[in-house]
């Protein structure tokens, strides 16, 4: 984890979002898919805490080496609105990379990646790393409208197939990413699932993967204060490996990537009665350590 005063190299609109590219070599060279940045806001009472953003790209080689890209949904609040208005040659105070990255399967080959909205940003970085390891990648991208589906055209360069789902039917099929999951798993002969979406959608994806005994990893976005393990704001109940109990893990340092079969979704989301984890574990992704 490094702190940098990073210059904004460029910004651009990507559908409903703003993509920001920074010059931050020390952070870029350590960054892995699934990790995130903590970005300081302007001074003022409204902005005591840093805001957190998933890493979309980190270039370690070639002409763009040392750059980092992240994606902002400007519609959320004051912090994201402020960032979306930042321009080239301004400087941001950035800490990163934070959190645990996705791990890559060692033996299994067919990877299905699904995301809703700008959640797809970190999956593009993951897809690149998987393709570099000779894995097959298929994607499902969703959004409320065509504007909120993240980079569907670019996705075609990385994936064997891309299914696009929109709530209003303005792009691809009408519906949510969950609707496309069973067919996509069958068509891609998926062996591993990776997902980024709002927590209720992830809960349903977890249930599907559990039922079909598919190893999966999800990146969650629990609200967090510090982002590096000090404040305990972002705890998530996660079953122990033997599933006999659970512990409250911090999404910022123990996540944001988790095995969804071990999250106690009902307890975490607090909407339904508490269901203890089942004794039967779902196979974890046999990974190569998350290192390139």
Q: Which residues bind ligand FAD (CB under 6 A)?
A: 36, 51-54, 70-73, 76-80, 118, 121, 221-224, 256
Cβ(227)–Cβ(39) below 8 Å:
no
55, 23 Cβ separation under 8 angstroms: no
The span from the CA of 279 to the CA of 261, in Å, is 11
In the bound state with ligand FAD, the residue whose beta carbon lies nearer, of 77 and 175, is 77
- Output the smallest distance, CB 79 to ligand FAD, in A: 2
Cβ proximity to ligand FAD: between 121 and 140 the closer is 121
Closer residue to ligand FAD in complex, CB, 147/179: 147
Q: How far is the CB of 84 from ligand FAD (least distance, A)?
A: 9
Check the CA dihedral 254-257-260-265 and report its sign.
positive
Least Cβ distance, residue 213 to ligand FAD (angstroms): 28
- Report the nearest approach of ligand FAD to the CB of residue 94 (Å): 13
Q: Name the residue with the smallest CB distance to ligand FAD.
A: 77
Kindly tell me the sign of the dihedral angle through the C-alpha atoms of 51, 54, 57, 61: positive
**Cβ closest to ligand FAD, residue 23 vs residue 49:** 49
Q: Which is nearer to ligand FAD, 208 or 258 (CB)?
A: 258
Can you tell me the distance from the alpha carbon of 16 to that of 86, in angstroms, rounded to the nearest whole number? 16
Partners of 38 in the β-ladder:
52, 95
CA distance 102 to 100: 7
Shortest Cβ 260–ligand FAD spacing (Å): 16
């Amino acid at each position: 984890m490094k702190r940098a005063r990073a210059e904004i190299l460029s910004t651009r609109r990507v559908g409903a979002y703003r993509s920001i590219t920074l010059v931050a070599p020390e952070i870029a060279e350590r960054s892995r898919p699934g990790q995130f940045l903590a970005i300081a806001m302007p001074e003022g009472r409204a902005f005591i805490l840093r805001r957190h953003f998933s890493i979309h790209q980190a270039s370690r080689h070639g002409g763009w080496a040392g750059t980092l890209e992240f994606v902002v949904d400007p519609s959320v609040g004051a912090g994201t609105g402020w960032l979306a208005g930042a321009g080239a040659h301004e400087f941001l105070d950035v800490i990163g990379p934070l959190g645990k990255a996705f791990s890559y399967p060692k033996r299994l080959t067919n990877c299905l990646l699904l995301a809703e909205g700008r959640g797809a940003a970190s999956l593009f970085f993951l897809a690149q790393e998987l393709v570099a390891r000779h894995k097959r990648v298929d994607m499902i991208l969703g959004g409320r409208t065509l504007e909120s589906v993240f980079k569907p055209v670019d996705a075609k360069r990385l994936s064997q197939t891309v299914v696009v789902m929109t709530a209003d039917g303005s792009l691809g099929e009408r519906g949510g990413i969950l609707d496309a999951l069973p067919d996509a798993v069958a068509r891609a002969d998926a062996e591993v699932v990776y997902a980024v979406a709002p927590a209720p959608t992830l809960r349903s994806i977890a249930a599907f993967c559990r039922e079909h005994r598919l190893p999966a990893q999800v990146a969650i976005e629990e609200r967090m204060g510090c982002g590096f393990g000090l404040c305990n704001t972002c705890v998530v109940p996660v079953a122990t490996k033997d599933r006999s109990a659970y512990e409250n893990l911090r999404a910022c340092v123990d996540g944001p990537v988790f095995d969804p079969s071990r999250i106690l979704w009902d307890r975490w989301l607090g909407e339904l009665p508490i269901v203890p984890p089942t004794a039967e574990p779902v196979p974890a992704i046999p990974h190569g350590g998350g290192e390139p």
